[in-house]
Amino acid sequence: MQQRIYLDHAATTPMRAAAIEAMTTELTRVGNPSSLHTSGRDARRVLEESREVIAACLGAQPAEVIFTSGATEADNLILLGAVRARRRKTSDDDLVVVTTTVEHHAVLETAESVASDGVRLELLPVNRDGLIDLDQLRMILNRHADRIAVLSVMWANNETGVVQPIEEIAGLARRAGVLVHSDAVQAVGQLPIDFAGSGLDALSLSAHKFGGPVGIGALLARKEIRLAPVQHGGGQERDLRSGTLDVAGVAGAAAAIKISTEALAAESRRLRDLREKLITGALAIDGTVLNGVGDPAASLPGIANVGFAGCQADDLLMLLDQAGIDCSTGSACTAGVSQPSHVLEAMGRTRQQAGSALRFSLGHTTTASDIDRLLAALPATVERARRVLR
């Protein structure tokens, strides 16, 4: 039996061997990192050494790394924490949160939640390539700068791989005195990240997207920014994220980010070549189109979103699944929800076009033969899916 082909790394990527080894070692130990006895201090040492590794890999200071259960929690912490902090500081209820129409639901739904509580929500539009309108951002900053609690813009889109000009966006925000955050879940491990040089005030990441374990993430937050905690308890993580930390998970995350960062340049070149091969082969099929930026330098090396005219994405997905190929119709966090991608619709695609798209996401386990098998299976798969709708 042929081994399955896994082309859904944007949903979760297989764990790195180094991360499994690091976790296995820590799972044999005992000790709460907040305890003062020897076992607790040993656990704290592993925690802080891992924090230092993650910070060094991302151009941050160790004190700026706040561990969370994942990027969803980190996104909630920055948006809710920024709004609550501003409300504690001022009686002005006319606060604004600014984000984009193509964010992950962890940001969009959190923003909508604070909007239902009286905060004004401004959504930045994108063009057909999925890039935000910087002129619109300038206008919003000029109009609302003193009332904006936080601006949040995704670094790289999880469905299309489109990379936003984060440094330029952060520069505009900082000149306006606005707190700026980026959901960098897909960017970490795929692009060089220099938190200190980016101009960002905060950044979210999730370990299982770069070969670490599920259940561990972090919010990088500059020490000078003011946030209010979203959950309360023992006061861990700068009193912003209470709760006993998963030392084994943190160690696994540190091991994964270290190896991902060290291999980043070579791996990026390898994945870009495979992505280009995939796109070229897919677009050779009549009625297919790339959803995203044509310039490879403006997209993640490992994500290709392709629309197949005359098909339903769900039909394609199941036919490829039967052929032993795993891919996605969009964000895994909305799996099972039968609706077109909000990202593609925001990019100007019709509901029918958005409902015909598949996301192929590559990673450290992807090989050239995987792409060959996909391209060999695609033409017949597309034809079968089109016959369903005739």
Q: Beta-carbon neighbour count of residue 367 at 10 Å?
A: 12
Nearest to 191 by CA among 239, 226, 154, 144: 154
What residues contact residue 8 under an 8 Å CB cut-off, 6+ apart? 326, 327, 328, 332, 359, 361
Tokens representing residue 211 in the block = 């070969």
Q: Beta-carbon neighbour count of residue 213 at 10 Å?
A: 23
What strands lie across the sheet with 65-68, from one edge to the other? 65-68, 217-221, 202-206, 180-183, 148-152, 96-100, 120-124
Nearest to 268 by CA among 211, 208, 193, 190: 190
Can 333 be counted among the known catalytic residues?
yes
Task: Name the DSSP class of 285.
Answer: S
CA 275 to chain CA mean position, Å: 19
Please list the active-site residues. Answer: 333
